[in-house]
Chain A
Amino acid sequence: EVQLVESGGGLVQPGRSLRLSCAASGFTFDDYAMHWVRQAPGKGLEWVSGISWNSGSIGYADSVKGRFTISRDNAKNSLYLQMNSLRAEDTALYYCAKDPGGTAAMSYYFDYWGQGTLVTVSS
């Protein structure tokens, strides 16, 4: 059974940093691209960042480019999101999500999601 478990969220002041983690199990982690998707309270879904299976391809939403860094440790079956210079508008539930495409090609959608970790940016 595929499981994605996020952690690292919490309350943080504007301008500070936070690092999110996502522990994956139930599938061969290093075969798949992974993503972070967020959802502000009462709002819709917003893609944040994605990373290919071998970290060779990385992308960011314009709203976080230059402030957030995605990474992965395939030996630890883990995905990370380093968030710097946090703003109030970054307040959201952050989901870890898996791309179903394998090493040959990405599929550009999300077949499994974690339950999310809440990040609140407030003074």
Chain B
Amino acid sequence: SYVLTQPPSVSVAPGKTARITCGGNNIGSKSVHWYQQKPGQAPVLVVYDDSDRPSGIPERFSGSNSGNTATLTISRVEAGDEADYYCQVWDSSSDPYVFGTGTKVTVL
């Protein structure tokens, strides 16, 4: 089955830029979606189809995807961005909806 690998943690100072990577074999050929999950809450979609944002999601959240790595970028990080972030793709394998391992973003 398809595997998505994320760094366990990313730390960033307020006002700086956080970059969260999602690695997978030829992931650039797939559509990547990103979710934010704050403690005790359900996941929230923050980026879909590599780089599109749902309504209500700040422009500070952006995505890119090429080769074997997709990236979620959070610009001008705020304390409220502290959360776990998961990437997700669809793959034509036995378990088609694949989530990444998750990245905990800590705002210093």
Contact = CB atoms under 8 A, between A and B. Distances in A.
Q: Do A and B come from one complex?
A: yes
Interface of A: 35, 37, 44-47, 50, 59, 61-63, 95, 100, 107-116
B86 A108 contact: no
Given A95-B42, A108-B90, A109-B90, A47 B33 contact: no
Given A62-B95, A109-B45, A113-B43, A44 B86 contact: yes
A61 B54 contact: no
Interface size on B, as a range, is 20 to 34
A100 B90 CA distance: 14
A45 B95 contact: no
A50 B43 contact: no
Contact of A109 (B44, B48, B94, B95): B48
B86 A110 contact: no
B101 interface: yes
A109 B88 contact: yes
Contacts of B102: 44-45
B95 A113 contact: no
Contact of B45 (A62, A110, A114, A116): A110
B11 to A, nearest CB: 19
* Chain A interface main SS type: loop
26 contacts: A44-B99, A44-B101, A45-B88, A45-B99, A45-B102, A46-B99, A47-B95, A47-B96, A47-B97, A47-B99, A62-B94, A62-B95, A95-B42, A107-B48, A108-B97, A109-B31, A109-B33, A109-B45, A109-B48, A109-B88, A109-B90, A110-B35, A110-B43, A111-B54, A113-B42, A115-B42
B9 to A, nearest CB: 14
Contacts of A61: 95
